[in-house]
A and B are shown apart, each in its own frame.
Chain A
Amino acid sequence: MLRTFRIGGIHPPENKLSAGKKITALAVPTQVVIPLSQHIGAPAQAVVKKGDTVKVGTLLGKAGGFVSANIHSSVSGKVNKIDDALDASGYKRPAVYIDVEGDEWEEQIDRSETLNKVCNLSSKEIITKIAEAGIVGLGGATFPTQVKLTPPPGTNAEILIINAAECEPYLTADHSLMMEKGAEILTGITILMKAINVKKAVIGIESNKPDAISLFKHMIVHFEGIEIMPLKVQYPQGGEKQLIDAVIGTQVKSGALPISVGAVVQNTGTAFAVYEAVQKNKPLIERVVTVTGKNVANPSNFLVRIGTPISSLIAAAGGIPENTEKIIGGGPMMGKALVSTEIPVTKGSSGVLLISNKEAVRKPMRNCIRCSKCITVCPMGLNPTLLMNTSEFRNWDLAEKNYIVDCIECGSCSYTCPANRPLLDYIRLGKGKVMGIIRARKS
């Protein structure tokens, strides 16, 4: 019997159309737009100005605080302007526009393909290198990695959990990366283990990727302390707390961090980025993005430079099919519809999903029939229907008492609701309000 997290969860159709497709490097566009805020936390402060010449890997923005990340140029060329640009958040935020000229890389970056397994750096040096490279959690949450690797005083990491679940339907970016860069990912995991000083790492992977599981089973014998654990396919297994529960069988308390149970969770994509940053001095300037959809001519996994407009990814996958209604940045469950195809790829873009008018329409909302399906599927053990009502009627006290801030916004409740109630929409609203109230109370 395969393990999974113990409460809630759903199993939507997997639709992994681009599984098994090789990663193709996408051509460098003529202009890139690199947002200065691609992560959770303070935006980076621009250190270049209009007219500056930059190379691939040149620092464009310096981290604007402890919870922030450096931003590097993904192309070589000239800075056209620093101006507001529409990004996946749906709002205009500061970004660096670069006109591409040639493809010149910073000298310290090692561009060879050779595997460099040995890392003699200390934990501190590794974390510094990761911070310099601007690495953030590539699973989608984009939390700065160096912060996660620096446990608060008094806590001790015991196990590193690698998230290879990729529980979102359609997405195959991590899966394809595992098939092609397995040794690099495993080296990255070893480096991460050294950084947080643990002896054990477990790769949690869903059983719908048998090829990756068997490949890794062969490979991990060459690496010390790494295990691979196939998990039952269940959404949202990639959620941090869900994965911890699935892998080590311990639940993280409400409001507590994973480190409270001695676990640090990192994504496979992040492990690969860490390998490249530490062993090859390469900052985070490109990532794997899945472009997919039932009507897309050629669903693919692309290696894309950060700042490339989504439109060129779609063009490479065969263009926008007729009757496309929505283009979603990310997966179908947690992704967000994009308002323009000129929005650039950022560190957190894991996929681009094109869905047709038949699938995209939200059905009209009806009254709650008290079936409690949402309560059954909620992986955090919350009461979504109650939380939606507290939000709708602005009863923030009651919302807080019912742990609205624990919601991970996975959307299982909205997905399962037979009355098509927009549960998550309202819960997200209430969560934001309550978090604001809690913050105001603390300060």
Chain B
Amino acid sequence: MLLFAIIVLGGIGIVSSILLYLTSKKFEVYEDPLIAQVQEVLPAANCGGCGYPGCSGFASACVNAESLDDLLCPVGGREVMGKVAAILGKDAGTTEPMIAVVHCNGNCEARPRTNHYNGVNNCTIASALYGGETGCTYGCLGFGDCVTACTFGAILINPVTGLPEIDEDKCTSCGACVKACPKSLIELRKKGPKSRRIYVSCANKDKGGVARKACTNACIGCSKCEKECPFEAITITNNLAYIDYRKCRLCRKCVPICPTKAIHKLNFPPKKEAAAGSKETEKELI
């Protein structure tokens, strides 16, 4: 009886294994082994920041692409792309690293509250209801949808200013916060040499007087910076200045001229600031 059971079960096992083997041969899907190799060096964050559905999608895109010029893993950056290039025997891409920038500087002092929000702590819900707790209907609501969206812990709301701050070391420019912000305040900009960059920290499109009344840090659209800029990088649309990071050469001339200090510069050495304007420093910076 025991022998019979062993023969029957063993027989079933052998027959099924042959069947399985044949089916797997017959319906085999060929996958480039390179894809698996590339995927191994990718960070496996599956953030979608590269524009492809997850890391495996990006890996197959890398393998199939002719050159890696337009492909960049924002999380891994140049380092990972170098590894990918080594595996594939292609040149590493030249895509510039980007970083998220918040276009609002309406801190608690500059932008006094006109009302008190008593609903759900969620920017999207609040912005669907009304303009916000202050006179500025364009500014940051401060409930932290961007913080929730960031999977790298790169954004935190500063409890003093009530505004989101971006950790340069952690930000991978995946763009999740850009999509999450209902006020469209976050933009991915060129990280710049040594993380130096200049941007307008305001999104208020109201007329100058109205904007100023709501927030003392607001851009009033006076167009002083537009005139000052030697590279035509600044444009004013709807009473709001915008610095095109592709044209900006970081000369910093617009920074001191802004009457409301809405133009921010980051990571410039403080000493050289005194000498800003002289041609030598400019060249050095460029």
Residue numbers of A with Cβ under 8 A of B are 84, 86, 89-92, 326, 336-337, 339-340, 360-362, 365, 422, 425-426, 428-429, 432
Contact assessment for A89 and B118 in the assembled complex, using a CB-CB cutoff below 8 Å? no
Shortest B112–chain A CB gap in Å is 13
Contact assessment for B125 and A426 in the assembled complex, using a CB-CB cutoff below 8 Å? yes
Which residues of B are found within 8 Å of A425, using beta-carbon distances?
Answer: 119-120, 122, 125
- Give the contacts of B124-170 with A (CB-CB under 8 A): 124-125, 128-131, 137
**B115 at the A/B interface (Cβ < 8 Å)?**
yes
Docked complex Cα distance between A360 and B116 (Å): 12
* Contacts A84-B206, A91-B137, A92-B206 given; does A426 touch B120 at CB 8 Å: yes
Shortest A397–chain B CB gap in Å is 16
Residue numbers of B with Cβ under 8 A of A are 114-115, 118-120, 122, 124-125, 128-131, 137, 206, 210
Q: Can you give 5 contacting A-B residue pairs, CB < 8 Å?
A: A90-B130, A339-B114, A340-B115, A425-B119, A428-B128
Docked complex Cα distance between A425 and B126 (Å): 9
Docked complex Cα distance between A84 and B122 (Å): 26
Docked complex Cα distance between A422 and B119 (Å): 8
Which residues of B are found within 8 Å of A362, using beta-carbon distances?
Answer: 118-119
Which residues of A are found within 8 Å of B118, using beta-carbon distances?
Answer: 326, 337, 360-362
Docked complex Cα distance between A1 and B129 (Å): 40
Which residues of B are found within 8 Å of A422, using beta-carbon distances?
Answer: 119-120, 125
Shortest B121–chain A CB gap in Å is 10
Which residues of B are found within 8 Å of A326, using beta-carbon distances?
Answer: 118
Contact assessment for B124 and A429 in the assembled complex, using a CB-CB cutoff below 8 Å? yes
Contact assessment for A339 and B115 in the assembled complex, using a CB-CB cutoff below 8 Å? yes
Contact assessment for B128 and A92 in the assembled complex, using a CB-CB cutoff below 8 Å? no
Which residue in B115, B122, B128, B130 is a CB contact (below 8 Å) of A432?
B128
Docked complex Cα distance between A426 and B120 (Å): 9
Shortest A399–chain B CB gap in Å is 14
Which residues of B are found within 8 Å of A89, using beta-carbon distances?
Answer: 130
Which residue in B120, B122, B124, B131 is a CB contact (below 8 Å) of A91?
B131
Which residue in B119, B120, B122, B131 is a CB contact (below 8 Å) of A92?
B131
Docked complex Cα distance between A339 and B122 (Å): 18
* Contacts A92-B137, A362-B119, A422-B119 given; does A428 touch B131 at CB 8 Å: no
Contact assessment for B125 and A429 in the assembled complex, using a CB-CB cutoff below 8 Å? yes
Given contacts A339-B115, A340-B114, 14 further A-B contacts (CB under 8 A): A84-B210, A89-B130, A91-B131, A91-B137, A326-B118, A336-B129, A337-B118, A340-B115, A361-B118, A422-B119, A422-B120, A422-B125, A426-B125, A428-B125
Shortest B137–chain A CB gap in Å is 6
Docked complex Cα distance between A78 and B137 (Å): 29
B119, closest chain A residue (CB): A425
Contact assessment for B125 and A91 in the assembled complex, using a CB-CB cutoff below 8 Å? no
A326, closest chain B residue (CB): B118
Docked complex Cα distance between A84 and B130 (Å): 15
* Contacts A339-B114, A339-B115 given; does A90 touch B129 at CB 8 Å: yes
Docked complex Cα distance between A337 and B130 (Å): 9
Name the residue among A89, A92, A336 with the largest chain B CB count within 10 angstroms: A92
Which residues of B are found within 8 Å of A365, using beta-carbon distances?
Answer: 120
Shortest B221–chain A CB gap in Å is 15
B180, closest chain A residue (CB): A394
Which residues of B are found within 8 Å of A340, using beta-carbon distances?
Answer: 114-115
Nearest first, the 6 closest Cβ-Cβ pairs linking A and B are A90-B130, A422-B120, A339-B115, A425-B120, A90-B131, A425-B125
B118, closest chain A residue (CB): A362
Docked complex Cα distance between A175 and B120 (Å): 34
Which residues of B are found within 8 Å of A86, using beta-carbon distances?
Answer: 131
Docked complex Cα distance between A393 and B118 (Å): 22
Shortest A434–chain B CB gap in Å is 13
Name the residue among B119, B129, B131 with the largest chain A CB count within 10 angstroms: B129
Contact assessment for A339 and B119 in the assembled complex, using a CB-CB cutoff below 8 Å? no
Docked complex Cα distance between A89 and B118 (Å): 16
Docked complex Cα distance between A92 and B125 (Å): 18
Contact assessment for A91 and B119 in the assembled complex, using a CB-CB cutoff below 8 Å? no
Docked complex Cα distance between A340 and B132 (Å): 12
Docked complex Cα distance between A429 and B128 (Å): 7
Shortest A354–chain B CB gap in Å is 15
Docked complex Cα distance between A426 and B126 (Å): 10
Which residues of A are found within 8 Å of B131, using beta-carbon distances?
Answer: 86, 90-92, 339
Shortest A64–chain B CB gap in Å is 21
A421, closest chain B residue (CB): B120
Docked complex Cα distance between A425 and B130 (Å): 13
Docked complex Cα distance between A365 and B115 (Å): 22
Which residues of B are found within 8 Å of A426, using beta-carbon distances?
Answer: 120, 125
Shortest B136–chain A CB gap in Å is 10
Docked complex Cα distance between A339 and B120 (Å): 17
Shortest B263–chain A CB gap in Å is 25
Shortest B257–chain A CB gap in Å is 28
Which residues of A are found within 8 Å of B210, using beta-carbon distances?
Answer: 84
A362, closest chain B residue (CB): B118
Which residues of B are found within 8 Å of A339, using beta-carbon distances?
Answer: 114-115, 130-131
Docked complex Cα distance between A64 and B122 (Å): 33
Docked complex Cα distance between A361 and B117 (Å): 11
Shortest B105–chain A CB gap in Å is 21
B116, closest chain A residue (CB): A325
Which residues of A are found within 8 Å of B206, using beta-carbon distances?
Answer: 84, 92
Docked complex Cα distance between A432 and B119 (Å): 18
Docked complex Cα distance between A86 and B130 (Å): 10
Shortest B88–chain A CB gap in Å is 35
